[in-house]
């Protein structure tokens, strides 16, 4: 798994699943919370990357 995006998706998936199962008991709550965490992580990184577009190295 060498791609940056693949790593982002998988890492966010692991973290989102872990915290949803750790902090929520109801299956629907877990799905909702996990989905929100996953979307926040992936979406947040993509947004940050977009904002950094005008500032290349």
Partner 1 sequence: MTETRPVAGRAVVDVSLGRTALALVAGWLVPGAGHAILGRVRRGALFFLLIMGSFGIGLAEEGRLALYSPREGFLTGLQLVANLGVGPADLFARMSVYGEAAYALPDPSDASHRPRIEKFRERQRSAVSAYGTAYLWSAGLMNLLLLMDVWDIAKRRKD
User: To 10 degrees, what angle do helices 4-23 and 27-51 make?
Assistant: 150
The mark string for 3-32 relative to partner 1 (x by CB under 8 A, - otherwise) is: -x--x--xx--xx-xx--xx--x-------
DSSP assignment letter at 53: T
Position 49 contacts partner 1 (CB under 8 A): no
- Contact in structure between 30 and 21 (CB atoms under 8 Å): yes
Q: Which is nearer to partner 1, 26 or 51 (CB)?
A: 26
CB of 32 to partner 1, least distance (A): 17
């Amino acid at each position: 798994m060498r791609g940056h995006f693949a790593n982002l998706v998988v890492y966010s998936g692991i973290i989102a699943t872990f915290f949803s199962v750790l902090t929520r008991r109801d299956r629907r709550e877990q799905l909702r919370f996990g989905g929100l965490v996953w979307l926040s992580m992936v979406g947040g990184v993509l947004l940050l990357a977009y904002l950094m577009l005008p500032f290349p190295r």
